[in-house]
Amino acid sequence: MRQNAPGCSSLIKLFSFPEVTYQVQLPRCLNMLNKECVEHFDEISCSAANEMCENEIEAPFWQSGLNPYDISQNCDGGMEVLCYPITKSVIYPLSG
């Protein structure tokens, strides 16, 4: 039986969302962002495009629980500590 290379299970987990969603939504998202936020900036339309992109493209990634800096790993400790619990010992003394 063939085993996946290290990290493949994380990629499978990330891309287990309907492929059609990415094939359809990513070009639509990029087009909307370019049209409403770059070519002709319209604050309301740009915000709507950004929200649509967040809901359709970013949200499934964040819901996967993967570390955005190393998608072969799960996010350990949450984004509050940037998926690396050791950052808690750096962030909190500096913020106080």
- Both tokens of 80, joined, read 């509050």
Pairwise CA distance, residues 46 & 43, whole Å? 5
- Residue 88 near residue 72 (C-beta atoms within 8 A): no
pLDDT of residue 91: 64
The confidence score (pLDDT) of residue 34 equals 95
Domain ranges of the chain: 8-95
- Identify the pLDDT of residue 6: 47
Tell me the mean pLDDT per 10 residues along the chain, length 96: 47 54 84 94 94 87 85 87 86 63
pLDDT of residue 4: 46
Whether this prediction's pTM lies above 0.75 is answered by no
